[in-house]
Structure 1
Amino acid sequence: TANLRDAIAALEALVTPPRDAPPTFAGARERLLHQLYLLREDAPRRVRAMEDAGPETLLHGDLWPKNVFVSMTDGAQRARLIDWDHVGAGPFSYDLSTFLYRSAAEERPWLLERYCAAAERAGRRLPGTGELNLLFHTAESARCAHCILFDAMAALNDGAAWAVEELIDYGRWLEKLRPPLPE
């Protein structure tokens, strides 16, 4: 919630955009603020869902299909992860949401089934699809708020025109963001 709060504050402060900002920025900024306000209003529910989903765990931090390769070991397929420079701790949904959102929509149910089966073998049962969608959408929204914060700060402090363009893009992306799994 801190990134969300700070992203809102930075965007609210960005009343006067850099000189090179496109004329569409003012409207895009207002729409983006509206989306962030909605996320802020829903934050208590999202925080509860994350707390109820279980303890923090080791995270890869940049888990998308290009950082996974599959090899054969003793006649069985084994997934191996590479590029561990963003490792940290957090909710399981962070890495899993990254992976699902960056995978083809038709592959997501199969990928989640495999993940759930592995979690159950380890003694962990994941919540149902509705709760998972909330967790995954929350993780993606948090990543987006983090990016919005840094781009808004670059525009505010450095007059970075590139940051304004990225803010417009994040607004479009956030408008289109939907839960990754069919319900």
Structure 2
Amino acid sequence: MTTIPTVVLVHGAFADSSSWNGVIEILAAEGVSVLAAANPLRGLTSDAAYVASVVDSIDGPVVLAGHSYGGSVISVAAQGKSQVTALVYLAAFIPQVGESALALTDKFPGSTLGPTTRPASYPLADGADGTELYIRQDEFPQQFAADVPAATAAAMAVTQRPVALAALQE
């Protein structure tokens, strides 16, 4: 068993694991073992259970790093996991017990996320409909990717992963 931690990167809403590519390059160049988990974005409990299963598949210590909603996910996923040696929050939600990511987006004046999103329905396993949120493509670069080249932000807008509204409310 190794004593050097594996860094597990957990993306947030509207992104996928490839959003960590730049970080992966830097860590790999330093010889750090890294894995970018594919956060399902469907519910905090189920998303955290998935990330916890990723942690369980790793021999040795783990550092969990979460971005945005991924911060909520790593907070839950780390519970009871003695191999998790650190949690790293990168522009991430660090909720108090009982707080949801959605509540945090509206907690302070000036939040712009809500008005930039659009809802869409998707089918649930029980036959009901769920609601997921997208950031409007024309508003995505400024809302989510203002610090990347315009062409990259435009591609990210097209390939964004929607998040289940229920995940943000949990």
TM range (shorter): under 0.3
TM-score using structure 2 length: 0.25
Larger RCO of the pair (alpha carbons < 8 Å, separation 6+): 1
More helix by share: 1
